[in-house]
Structure formats: structure tokens, C-alpha cells
A and B are shown apart, each in its own frame.
Chain A
């Protein structure tokens, strides 16, 4: 059991990081912290993917010295998936940050609960439009 855990220590760390990010995203009221949580969560997934995609002692599948033996190279797909994932998470983060800026300009706070209360009050004053 312990040996198994030790062998997959990076994956275990990734899962723990994922949980940390998930909890931050879900439980924190501060928008910036939520976004940080989101990034931790995504990064944890990429760590997981990268760690399973790499086998010690092997290299990227680029043939330089004419050797085509399969045992020398790693599968490039996980790395490709990670790159795609990074692109996605960067764009999502940018979108979230821009939303945060807009909310801050409108409500002058980053606390989601406070913003919600202010919005509710405004709505009650306006009368249902």
C-alpha cells in the first residue's frame, strides 16, 4: 500500500492540489481567490496528465540519431493535451478577470456575497425591471 502510494506520489499530490483548488473555487467569497482556486485546480489536472505521460529515462519522440526503437520515446499525446488545456485555462482566466474588473467598477468590492446584497437592494429599489 505504502509503496503504491510512493510510486504514485505525484498523482496523489495532483489530486490533493485539485481538491485544494476545488474547495477554494467553491468556498471563498473573494473573486480573486476564486480565480486562483480555479487555476490551482486546472494546474493540478495538468500535473496529473504530465506525470502519467512521462516515463523516466525516455525522451520526446523526435528522431535525431536514427533510432526508431519504441522504448526510447514517450507518447507525445499527454503533452499535447496539456498544451491544449493550458490554452483553455488561460482564456477562461482572462475572461474571469475581465468580469471581475467590471464587477469591481460597478460595485467597488470583490466580495461576492456583498455584491449580491447590493444588487438585491438595488433591484428592490428599482422595482422588478
Chain B
């Protein structure tokens, strides 16, 4: 076994250790430590990915060498290191690009706590991506919830506290349902490790025993995670949460944390329930319908907003809809589209939030469209980055956004009953997306209606530049050279399904 297979465990442990160490450092050092950590995790995940590609097989990493069913395991296939590398890179870019607001929004003597939370989020995301044990997943879901609440409430204005409470209420309802689902599953199978669970569930499904508890568990787990990731109609916490947090947190919350939950759900569908049981339960149709509603309602609400951050938040609700749409369509092609959409949204939405925050600063801190008129002419880089990311959201060719819509449409064409509705909603939502993003971009480049306030201090300007360019490059590269990425995901999904 290659030494690289130790890296996932090391990354999780390093993130946890860094979070403890960060609480004793000052803000600046803690920020540097977090950034070094995320970059190191990203690079080491790529090494793991390379090692798996070379061996061509998924590896089950036994922690403490206790064999199943006593030990806890990590599953290292192709999808897992790819997503952990991607998530860590985005986290790094968020920290880099949001530097100015991190300095302005955090109280200096408390700023190191922010990075404690960032490290915990990193640990939780890695654990959700890699773990092979459903209860470990639950524990890290809760860690992720608490840490993300910390990311949100660290900016101390009344609205963020209110937003944190609403966020926590929805999150806790979600984790409560998830926990009950896991307990029911444990009740009928007596297992917690994913491969053993899958075998036990396959036996139960064959014999028809415990049909009702099994279906309730499928429903509870799916709905729990759907609520946590903000699927319609549970997206009401989003506008406040993303609208008032510090931009770096908005990026992390929208781009990574909700995606972590969805990735875990996909993992549960494939590795615990198995696609046959899940897609035989009818739950995918519920997800499909909610996703369609979410896409339309999210876009319509985004059009009605006149605050740029809240508009982006509603657009996130619509984008989450795309992911669930993929899951709802079909097990293989649909999930592939969903996975690709996770990557797309993670690469695009944080870039939008960070650029929007730069633009708002230039407009004197206002987030209203009226005051943002003409700002793009003054902040050239932020304007260009916003425009490019918006084009990707709309789905212009050569961007990741185009590919994910294309994949969704292809997945729909492969089914018999979901073609018309899916294509219709994709078309409608593309029109709506174009409408509100084009409106924003036109405003940004219009004649300014008044004098701008003097430019905000140059602090963090360079680091924003350093973050905005990789975001755009990442999007462009993945949008143009999609086929290697897709074949990797496809192969990864096969390894995913295999019971080790």
C-alpha cells in the first residue's frame, strides 16, 4: 500500500490539531496557519488521487488496524480525494480573497476564533468526504453545523445573530431527522459501517422484511440532509445567512458546507442504500419535484431582490436545486451531473460573493443595486470576475456552468418520463438566470449616478486579485477540458458503488 493512503487520515488529524493550536495564536498567524493547512490538504489529496489512479482500486483504510465490524474506516476511491482537493482549494481561495473583510469584520482580539472554525469546517468536510461509517458522518455533520454557525455569527451585527439562529434551527431539524434515520437503520440491520449496511439492506430488500422501517429511514436520512443543504422549501435561511455574513463565510457556507452534506447524501445513496433500493423507494421523485420547484422559485425570488448578496443567495437555492435534480433523474448519469454541478457551484458562487463584496466596497458599502450603478467601471478586476462567474452561472459555453446544464439535459434524455419537464425547467431557469445576472452586469457597467466615495484602503486588494484569477482559471479549465474530469468522476462512481 502506497504511503499516500495515509494522507486522508493525516489531513483530518492535522485540521483538528490546527484548530486547537489556532485558538492559542493571534489572528494573523492563525489565518496563515489555516491557509497553509488548506493548501497542504489540497496538494496531498492530489497525491492520494494519483496513487489511487495508479493502483486502479479503491482502498479501505482501517484506522487502528481493527477489522470490520469493530474498527472505523475511511474509504479512499477516486471521487473522495478529488472532492477533498477541490473543497480545500476553494476554502484556500475564499480565505485569500476575503482577507480585507476578514480584517474589517472581525474584532481583532477575537479574530483567531474564526480560523478555529475554518479548521473545524475543513476537518468536518474531509471526514464527510472520506468516512466509511455512518455514525462518524453524523458526528462530523454536527461539528460542521456548529463550526459554520461560528463562521456566521463572528461578524457581530444583530442580523447575523438572527441569521445564525434561523440557520441553526433548520440545521438542527435536519440533523435530528438524519439521526433518527440512522438509528432506525441500525435498529433493523445492527450495522454502522457502510459496506456491511449495504449488504444487510440488500438482504432485507430481497426478503421484504422490515419494509416500512427501511423506507422511513431512506426518507428521514434524505430529507434530513436535504433540509441541511437548503433544498426548496427549506431554503428560507439562505438569504439572511449568505446576505449578512462576512463574504468569506458566505463563500464557504454556500460553496462548500452545503455541498459537503450533499456529497455525504450521494455517498449514502450509493454505499448504504444502494441505488436499487433508493431508486425503488420513490424518494428520488420527491427530490426531483422539490428540485424543480427550488430552481424556479429560487430564480424568481432572485429577480425580486434588490440586494446583490441576497440575490446571490437565492440563486444558490436554485443551484442546489440543480444538484438534487441530477440525483432525482437517474442513478448513474444523473448523479454524474449532480457531482459535476457540485464542483461547478463550489467554483462559481464563492467567486461571485467575493467579487460582489469588492464591488460593494467601491460603492461605499451599500449592497443595493441602485448604489452599485457603474461600479464595474471603477473596479475593473472585480467587475470582470463577477461577469465571468455570472456567465458561468447562466451556462455560457466554455464555462463549467454550461457543462453541468448539458450533463443534466443528457441525463434527462436518457430517461423516459422526465425529459419534457426537465428540459422545460432548464430552459426557463436559464432565461431567468440570464435575466437577473444580465440586469446586474448592465447596472455594473452603466453610467454612474453620482460620485463614488473615496476608494477603500488597499488592504487585501492584492490577495483578492490572487484569488479571483485562480477562480476564473479553474472554471475555464474545467469547462474546456471536461472529458478527463468526467471520465475520472465516472470511474470514481463505479469504485464508489463497489462494496469493498
Contacts and interface: CB of A to CB of B under 8 A. Distances in A.
Interface string A103-122: 10011000010011001001
B186 A106 contact: no
Interface stretch (A54-62, A64-72, A93-101): A93-101
Contacts of B176: 18, 21-22, 25, 38, 41-42, 45
A127 B366 contact: yes
Main secondary structure of the interface of A (DSSP, over half): helix
A84 interface: yes
A9 to B, nearest CB: 15
Interface in B147-175: 149, 153, 158-159, 161-162, 164-166, 168-169, 172-173
Contacts of B146: 91-92, 95
Cβ-closest 10 pairs across A and B: A128-B368, A88-B142, A106-B158, A41-B176, A52-B187, A49-B183, A102-B161, A128-B366, A45-B179, A99-B165
Contacts of B173: 22, 25-26
A53 to B, nearest CB: 9
B423 interface: no
B192 interface: yes
B7 interface: no
A87 to B, nearest CB: 9
Nearest to B364: A129
Main secondary structure of the interface of B (DSSP, over half): helix
Contacts of A26: 169, 173
A91 B144 CA distance: 13
Among B161, B164, B192, the one with the most A-chain Cβ atoms within 10 Å of its Cβ is: B161
Interface of B: 135, 139, 142, 145-146, 149, 153, 158-159, 161-162, 164-166, 168-169, 172-173, 176, 179-180, 183, 186-187, 190, 192, 307, 365-368, 371
Nearest to A118: B158
Given A48-B187, A128-B366, 19 more contacts: A26-B169, A34-B169, A42-B176, A48-B180, A48-B183, A75-B190, A81-B135, A84-B135, A88-B142, A92-B145, A95-B146, A95-B168, A99-B149, A99-B161, A99-B164, A102-B161, A119-B162, A128-B367, A128-B371
30 contacts: A18-B180, A22-B173, A22-B176, A26-B169, A34-B169, A41-B176, A48-B183, A49-B183, A49-B186, A52-B183, A75-B190, A88-B139, A88-B142, A91-B146, A92-B145, A92-B146, A96-B168, A99-B149, A99-B153, A99-B161, A103-B158, A103-B161, A103-B165, A106-B161, A112-B166, A119-B162, A128-B307, A128-B367, A128-B368, A129-B366
A31 B143 CA distance: 22
Contacts of B365: 129
Nearest to B69: A77
Among B146, B153, B176, B186, the one with the most A-chain Cβ atoms within 10 Å of its Cβ is: B176
A95 B149 contact: yes
B371 to A, nearest CB: 7
Nearest to B181: A45
